[in-house]
């Protein structure tokens, strides 16, 4: 295992370890999380998939370990919003020069929703959209082209627009045990040792 690789599958240039290609200090990605893109260069994830993510807000995209992010997934940040407190939806503070406003007030043009947090071992399907301020729990599955507008509990499968729960992946007891075990924080050697149990769904083997 080499978590520092860019292309973990050798000649496959469509799949990257995401941690190895992001540069923004406000994008934090865990080990072994992958992104696949068959339309664009996956190394351009930060530019193509993390949208309206302006440094002035200091909001962060935090993605855990062992996540699988499918082609076209978009993370929409708070600057995509327009303030709902204003009597107008027009973002006057962005055009501060035109309207004799202060640049220091620019963030009042939108409602600040905060960080996007994706847990560990999360699978995000093709062209899903994750909206600002959302937290996705460990082990969740986000369906193809789902639009996630609210927090998703751990080990929950969601789909649709807006995304709604379809079902839990496992019984509550198994989910609680997985959250307690947190296998994604194990040393690589222990993950390797227990890999067959993980892949076969043998919770007792962990």
Q: Quick check: 125 and 107 in contact, CB under 8 A?
A: no
What is the DSSP secondary-structure string of the chain?
--TT-S-TTTT-TTEEEGGGT---TTEEE-TT-EEE-SSS-GGGHHHHTEES--GGG---EEE-SS-EE-TT-EEE-GGG---SSSSS-S-GGGGTTTTT--GGGGGGGS-----EEE-SS-EE-TT-EE-TT-EE-TT-EE-TT-EE-S-B-TTEEEETTTTEEEEESS-HHHHHHHHHH-GGGS-HHHHHHTHHHHHHT-GGG-
Exactly one of 3, 82, 169, 177 is catalytic; which is it? 82
53 catalytic residue (yes or no): no
Active site residues: 82
């Amino acid at each position: 295992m080499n978590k520092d690789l860019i292309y973990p599958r050798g000649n496959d240039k469509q799949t990257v370890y995401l941690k190895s290609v992001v540069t923004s200090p406000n994008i934090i990605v865990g080990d072994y999380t992958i992104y696949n893109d068959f339309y664009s260069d996956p190394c351009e994830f930060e530019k193509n998939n993390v949208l309206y993510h302006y440094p002035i807000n200091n909001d962060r995209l935090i993605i855990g370990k062992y996540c699988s992010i499918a082609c076209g997934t978009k993370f929409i940040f708070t600057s995509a919003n327009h303030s709902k407190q204003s009597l107008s939806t027009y973002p006057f503070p962005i055009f501060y020069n035109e309207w004799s406003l202060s640049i220091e007030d620019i963030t009042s043009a939108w409602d600040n929703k905060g960080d996007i947090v994706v847990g560990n071992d999360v699978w995000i399907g093709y062209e899903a959209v994750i909206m600002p301020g959302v937290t996705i729990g460990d082990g969740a599955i986000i369906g193809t082209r789902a639009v996630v507008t609210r927090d998703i509990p751990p080990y929950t499968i969601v789909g649709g627009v807006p995304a709604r729960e379809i079902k839990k992946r496992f019984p509550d007891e198994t989910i609680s045990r997985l959250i307690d075990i947190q296998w994604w924080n194990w040393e690589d050697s222990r993950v390797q040792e227990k890999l067959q149990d993980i892949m076969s769904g043998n919770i007792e083997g962990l």
